[in-house]
Chain A
Amino acid sequence: MTTGAGVQLRALFHLRWQMVRSDGVRASLILIALGIGWLMLIVAQGAGALDPVRAATAVELAPEAFLGFGILALIAPLTAGGGNEIVPPDQLVAFPIRPRTQFLGGLVLAPLNLVWVLQILALIAVTVLLTAGGSAALGALTTATYVTALTALGQAVAWGVVGLRESHRGRQVVASGGALLLLGLVVVVKAGLGGALLDHAPTGPVVAGVVAGAGGDWLRWGLTTGVLLTSTVALLHLGERACGWALRRPGDVGALRSSRSVRRRPARRSELRTLIALDRASVWRAPALRRGALVLAVLPGLAAGGAQVPWESLVVLPGLVAAGAGLLFGVNAFCLDASGAVFVASLPHDPRLVARAKALVLTETVLIAAVIAAVAGSLRSPGRPTTAVLVAIAVSALTCTAVVVARGMASSVRRPHKAELKGPRDAVAPPGALALASVHLAVPAGLVGLLLGGTAQSRIWWLPVAVAAPILLWCWLSLVRSFRTWADPVARSRIVSTVSAG
């Protein structure tokens, strides 16, 4: 006999909350939730006070804003292999968890994503502007229904893709579909059809529905909201079915891949290189990390290229990408060894080598993602950049990488988690810890990007270097502190015990 999905969901969230042992982390999570709520209020109030010209522009771009959220809602669960999980599935094998519970869990956890929150803030602002002078509540209801429907659609599609990828034919279909989509996007962008396409964004009727709610056009508002509501119910049902289907698929290509043979490589010349090679393998052989790294390397650059981002704005891009790349494994770097951490710890070596290898692999992963995004983004940037802007972009990539590596390694020694990273949905930390970590990485990296973006306006080429120097020094000192913590036998044994827990 099994209980309903609602009861199971409550039980799982209760269990997850109990598993947060630190009062500090609990307090931080509550503060973040309150902070987001406060931000929403501020944005809602601030949007109403926007000057008429900017407000008009925002209203004009409303369909694009709704479309942007829709694209994110589709991509985010795809990159997470079907959505986040409240509790890792290997810890729940003895419990009769329903697919519906799993699907709804992913849906509820969708907001634990900084980009999702930022997009919601943008939609709140747009909704306030669209409903100026009328009933904001009705417009907000339409927007909220749209957000729920698209989030459910994203989860449903992601579970469908997960199911398809369980067979070889399915993997080929998904890969071909992805390649075609990418090719189509490149053709649209190269042909300069992006603007025309956006003008015909399918989100136009949704925006019209929001406006109708404020203007007293009950029929139109009711029709739009009703369709969205019906779609939400249908998508929830579809997503639950897709989730159940994906989890029942017997193909098990994932398991085959996790036990595949790999090409034997010659022994490396030094201890450090041997450790680096193993860490690289641990990253690229983990389905979740491989997929995340590829998405981070391709999508932001493609988006920036498609939007023809000005050179000055590109300075901010490496910070955002670096923060995302850091979340792949940087905030819990020692989990790469998992239970093998005990084996490594039992070998005679300078322990700092292990930490150094992890930091170097993290640095190259983050830097490569940031550089690819910056280069791809710059391909269609209008005009010619000044030397100061070019230097600022390069310094931004370097400095944001340093910030992410420093903060990631600090988090790795302070708050380790066990993470086997076997499955496509496995993450390096529990959802709440990842949400905290995303703030810890994105805020400083984003601020550094903005700061360097400001220096790029000055046309003094050495100014970004001068501004970055103290930040790099701070990063270095932070990294040294983390290495020192790792070198301490008591702290190291705590980390090893945590990441290798059986």
Chain B
Amino acid sequence: MEPVLTALDLVVDFGTVRAVAGFDLSVAAGASVALVGRNGAGKSTTMRVLAGVLPATAGTVVVAGCDAAHDPAGVRAAVGYCPDVGGLIPRATPWEHLQLAAKLRGMRGWEDRARDLLERFDLAAASDRITAGFSHGMGRRLSVVLATFHSPRLLLLDEPFDGVDPLGVDATLEVVREVRETGTAVLVSTHLLHLAVEVCEEAVVLRGGRVVGAAPAAELTGEAGRARYRALIT
């Protein structure tokens, strides 16, 4: 079966700084992969490129058959992306974010799905509140709602658990499980190894902008798993 995501020899330069240095990854439909690594390993930059937000300096990204270099809109249509920080228009409400996403994605009859997601992420009461006043956790939860709202082919979650309370974490884990069942490929970037293990079956370790190791996520648990992880990231 053709993978939903294929990244080949991805390179991203910011001036003289090489943020991503030859990243390769392939994720099949329904699979879930954790991107783990230290701060500055290139996880968020990679996620931005895969989301079609940042153009790669070199390399290839193909999502659901669309090449990011030639059909970025096609990539964005297939992707649901929760960025690492913020990601919300400060003076718009959650409902207005959903309205915009629905309009630009050409979705019809989206309201019930939107209400359901807001309910599950405990945001229903705040759906008409300006997001500038949201707590960090509320903002994270809304970003996950926006990423999963259109049942994407590829779900990219960058630090989705950062500052989120246990109920929010549970809601995210549940949504990830659901979308995987419908064939969505999931890529989660996180510092929280135990949650990465819980949500993903594979883990890819990044260091210095390149993949330095990959293993079944379960193998990174326990004392031996953590020691292996530490050895990879240092």
Contacts and interface: CB of A to CB of B under 8 A. Distances in A.
Given A339-B90, A340-B90, A349-B104, A259 B83 contact: no
Nearest to B138: A259
Given A255-B133, A278-B92, A285-B130, A343 B104 contact: no
Interface string A105-119: 000000000000000
19 contacts: A258-B130, A261-B128, A261-B129, A262-B129, A263-B128, A264-B128, A267-B99, A285-B130, A338-B86, A340-B90, A343-B87, A343-B143, A344-B100, A346-B81, A347-B104, A348-B77, A349-B76, A500-B87, A502-B84
A345 to B, nearest CB: 5
A406 interface: no
Interface in B60-98: 72-74, 76-77, 79, 81, 83-93, 95-97
A267 B104 CA distance: 12
A260 B87 contact: no
| Residue from B85, B90, B103, B134 having most chain A Cβ neighbours under 10 A | B90
A342 B92 contact: no
A135 interface: no
A274 B104 CA distance: 9
Contact of A274 (B48, B73, B99, B134): B99
Contacts of B105: 347-348
Interface stretch (A143-151, A305-313, A488-496): A488-496
Contacts of A256: 133
Interface in A62-113: none
Interface of B: 48, 51-55, 72-74, 76-77, 79, 81, 83-93, 95-97, 99-105, 128-130, 132-134, 143, 146
Contacts of B130: 258-262, 285
A240 interface: no
Contact of A268 (B73, B95, B97, B103): B103
B104 A285 contact: no
Most chain B C-beta atoms within 10 Å of own C-beta, residue among A345, A348, A422: A348
Best-buried of A259, A336, A421, A493 by chain B (most CB within 10 Å): A259
B92 A346 contact: no
Contact of B86 (A270, A275, A339, A346): A339
A337 B74 CA distance: 23
A350 B104 CA distance: 9
Given A348-B76, A489-B55, 19 more contacts: A258-B133, A260-B130, A264-B95, A285-B91, A338-B86, A343-B97, A343-B146, A345-B52, A346-B51, A346-B53, A347-B104, A420-B132, A493-B48, A493-B54, A496-B53, A497-B54, A502-B84, A502-B85, A502-B86
Nearest to B44: A502
Interface of A: 255-256, 258-264, 267-268, 270-271, 274-275, 277-278, 281-282, 285-286, 336-340, 342-350, 420-422, 489-490, 493, 496-497, 500, 502
Contacts of A263: 128
Given A342-B86, A343-B83, A422-B132, A262 B93 contact: yes
Contacts of A345: 52-53
Nearest to A286: B91
B52 A346 contact: yes
By Cβ-Cβ distance, the 8 closest A-B pairs, closest first, are: A259-B133, A339-B86, A340-B89, A502-B85, A285-B91, A348-B77, A348-B76, A489-B55
A262 B99 contact: no
B19 to A, nearest CB: 11
B91 A349 contact: no
Contact of A262 (B100, B101, B128, B143): B128
B150 to A, nearest CB: 9
Contacts of B83: 339, 342-343, 346
Nearest to A419: B90
Nearest to A282: B91
B73 A348 contact: yes
Nearest to B80: A346
A490 B89 CA distance: 22
Contacts of B99: 267-268, 274
B233 to A, nearest CB: 22
Contacts of A336: 89
Contact of A271 (B90, B104, B133, B134): B104
B100 to A, nearest CB: 6
A393 to B, nearest CB: 34
A353 to B, nearest CB: 9
Q: Which among B55, B76, B103, B143 has the greatest number of chain A C-beta atoms within 10 A?
A: B103
Contacts of A274: 99-100, 103-104
B55 A493 contact: yes
Contacts of A500: 86-87
Most buried by A among B72, B74, B77, B88: B88
Given A259-B132, A264-B128, A285-B130, A348 B104 contact: yes
A191 B28 CA distance: 80
Contact of B89 (A258, A337, A346, A350): A337
A487 B128 CA distance: 32
Contacts of A346: 51-53, 76, 79, 81, 83
Contacts of B91: 281-282, 285-286, 421
Nearest to B86: A339
A420 B104 contact: no
Nearest to B68: A489
A368 to B, nearest CB: 20
A339 B73 CA distance: 20
A29 B134 CA distance: 38
Nearest to A343: B87
B101 A347 contact: yes
Contact of A347 (B88, B100, B134): B100
A339 B55 contact: no
A278 B96 contact: yes
Nearest to A272: B103
Contacts of A342: 48, 53, 83, 86-87
Contacts of A489: 55, 72
Contacts of A421: 90-91
A479 B93 CA distance: 30
Nearest to B52: A346
Residue with the highest number of chain A CB atoms closer than 10 Å, among B51, B73, B87, B129: B87
A3 to B, nearest CB: 31
Contacts of B77: 348
B39 to A, nearest CB: 13
A259 B143 CA distance: 17
Nearest to B84: A502
Given A267-B102, A340-B86, A347 B128 contact: no
